[in-house]
Chain A
C-alpha cells in the first residue's frame, strides 16, 4: 500500500512539526489551533498507517529512506509566517485531494470523507492567517512573502501522481494553483515566479529522498521507542 504510506507519512510528519509549536505559539488561541490541527493530522496518519501495518512499527522503526512523505511537510517550522505558508500549501493540496477521494470509490473514500471536513478547517485557518500576515504590517508582509517564496519549490512534488491514488492529478494541480494564487493576491503577496520543483525535490520525498532536517526530526521522534525494543507503552 504505497498510497496509504505516502498519505499517512504526510500527515504524520506535518503533525510532528506542528507539535513542536506547543508552548511557543504567538498567542494562546494559536496554541489551541495548532495543536488541534496537529491532532487531526495525527488521527489521519494513524488510520492510514494502520491500513499498511502496525502504526507504531511504521512510525518508529523505519529509517529515513523508508518514509514516503513529501518534502514540504518535513520542512522546519521557521517563524510563524513560514509555518503558515507550509499550512496554506499543504492544506489546500490535502483538501482538493481528499475531496476527489471522497467522491470516488477507492479504499480511501471513507477516510477522505471524514478528513476533508477537518482539512477544510485547516485550510480556512491557513488562509485567514495568510491574509492577516500578508495584509497586516510591513514586517508581517515581508515575513509572509519570505515564507511563501522559500517553500514554493517544494510544492511541485504535491502533484506527482502517487501509485494507487486514482484521482485526476492534473485538475488537482490546476485547482491548487488557482486557489493559492487567489489567496496570495488577496493577501497583497506576490505569487512566486520560480519553478515549483527544484531538481532535488521533484517527487523525491515519495521515493524516500528527504532533506537534511528530516533525519534529525525522526531521530528525536524515534529515540525513546527504539531504546526499549519490544516494550509496550
Chain B
C-alpha cells in the first residue's frame, strides 16, 4: 500500500485525511485474515462491496429464475405426495430469493434495483436454469444434480467473510440438502420403477449432467473473479476443486441409483485418489451465458411479464398503505 500515490489517495479518500483509507483497509485486511466476519456497518473496500453485490444478486436471481423449470411440472406432478413436495420446494426457492435480496440490501442496494438489472439482462443468474424440463424425471435430476452442485458450492459460503451472506447461506443450505435428498429419492423410485420410468430417469441424467458441472463456473485459469474472491474469503475453494469434489460425490450415488453418467472418460484415478472426467464443452457454456441457451429468452420473458403484469398490484399496495397511514396520522394529530 505504500506505493499508492498522493493523487490516488485523494481520489479514493474523498475528503478524508490522507492515510485514512490505508488504516481502514489494514483493519479490514486484518479482520479477514483473522476469519472475523465483516458486518454491514464496517468499512469495506469498494471492490469488495461491488463483488459481493454482484455475487449475491446473481445468487438471488438464480433462486427466482430457478423456480420456473420446476414450476413447469407442478400442474403435472404424477402423485399428490410429489406435488406437495414440489410446491414446497418452489416456495422455498422464493423464500431463498427473499433472504438473499435482503442480505444484498445490507450493502446499500435495493431489491427493486437488482430486479431491474436482472430484467434488463445486466445481471446474471445461473446458466443451468436455461435448460428445459422435458419430463417428470427432470425434476428429480434437478434435485439430485443441480441442488447437489449448488450445495457443494454453497456450503463453503456459510463461512464467507461477509456476515449477512454467510448467515443466509446457513439457512439456505439446510433446505437445499433436504431438496437434494428428495430429488435423489424421486430418481431412485423411477430407476427402480417400470422400464419406461427407468429410461426417463436415465435420459434426464444424461441431459443434466454436463450442465450441472458447468455450474461451478469456468476453469480456474479462466475465472475472472476467483483469485480476488479467495483473498477476501468470499470464496474458499476454486471452481475446479469444487467441481472435482462434486464428481467424486456423484459417481457412487449414480451407481446406487442404478444410473450411468454420460461420460466415457469418467474413471477412478488411483494415483490422484479422485475421478478423471471428460472435457466440458466450454463453448456451449459461453453461448448459454451470452443468452443463447435453449430457454434464456423464455425465462427472462416470463420473469419480466410477471413483474410488468404485477405492477398494478404493487401500485395498489403502495397507494393503500399511503392512504391509510395518512388517515392514521391524521387521527393521531386530530
The answer to whether A38 touches B313 (Cβ under 8 A) is no
The answer to whether A26 touches B306 (Cβ under 8 A) is yes
CB 8 Å contact bits of B67-90 with A (1 = contact, 0 = none): 110010011111111111001101
Which candidate, A101-109, A136-144, A153-161, A163-171, is the interface stretch facing chain B? A136-144
Indicate whether B194 reaches chain A with its CB closer than 8 angstroms. Answer: yes
- A-chain residues with CB within 8 Å of residue B215 when the two chains form the complex: none
The answer to whether A55 touches B316 (Cβ under 8 A) is no
Counted as pairs of residues, one from A and one from B, with CB atoms less than 8 Å apart, the total is: 143
The answer to whether A19 touches B84 (Cβ under 8 A) is no
- Separation in Å of the A87 CB from the closest CB of chain B? 14
- B-chain residues with CB within 8 Å of residue A16 when the two chains form the complex: 75
The answer to whether B315 touches A137 (Cβ under 8 A) is yes
Which candidate, B91-99, B166-174, B229-237, B287-295, is the interface stretch facing chain A? B91-99
- B-chain residues with CB within 8 Å of residue A30 when the two chains form the complex: 313
The answer to whether A26 touches B193 (Cβ under 8 A) is no
Indicate whether A32 reaches chain B with its CB closer than 8 angstroms. Answer: yes
A188 to B194, CA, bound (A): 57
Taking chain A's interface residues, is the majority helix, strand, or loop, or is none over half, making it mixed? helix
Indicate whether B189 reaches chain A with its CB closer than 8 angstroms. Answer: yes
- B-chain residues with CB within 8 Å of residue A28 when the two chains form the complex: 64, 94, 97-98, 101
The answer to whether B189 touches A39 (Cβ under 8 A) is no
Interface size on A, residues (CB 8 A): 49
With A23-B71, A31-B67 known to touch, is A39 a contact of B88 (CB < 8 Å)?
yes
Indicate whether B120 reaches chain A with its CB closer than 8 angstroms. Answer: no
A55 to B84, CA, bound (A): 13
A195 to B312, CA, bound (A): 30
- Separation in Å of the A180 CB from the closest CB of chain B? 19
Which candidate, A63-71, A88-96, A198-206, A221-229, is the interface stretch facing chain B? A221-229
Which chain B residue has the least Cβ–Cβ distance from A19? Answer: B74
A29 to B95, CA, bound (A): 8
Which chain B residue has the least Cβ–Cβ distance from A20? Answer: B75
Within 8 A of A (CB), among B147-191: 189-190
The answer to whether B313 touches A27 (Cβ under 8 A) is yes
Give 16 pairs: A residue, B residue, CB < 8 Å, sorted on A.
A22-B74, A25-B310, A26-B311, A32-B95, A35-B90, A39-B88, A39-B91, A42-B87, A46-B84, A133-B316, A136-B315, A136-B317, A136-B319, A139-B315, A220-B75, A225-B78
B interface, CB within 8 angstroms of A: 64, 67-68, 71, 74-84, 87-88, 90-91, 94-95, 97-98, 101, 136, 189-190, 193-194, 196-197, 302, 305-307, 309-321, 323-324
Known: A26-B314, A32-B95, A42-B80; 12 extra A-B contacts, CB below 8 A, are A23-B90, A28-B98, A31-B94, A32-B91, A39-B87, A59-B80, A132-B316, A137-B319, A139-B312, A139-B316, A231-B78, A233-B82
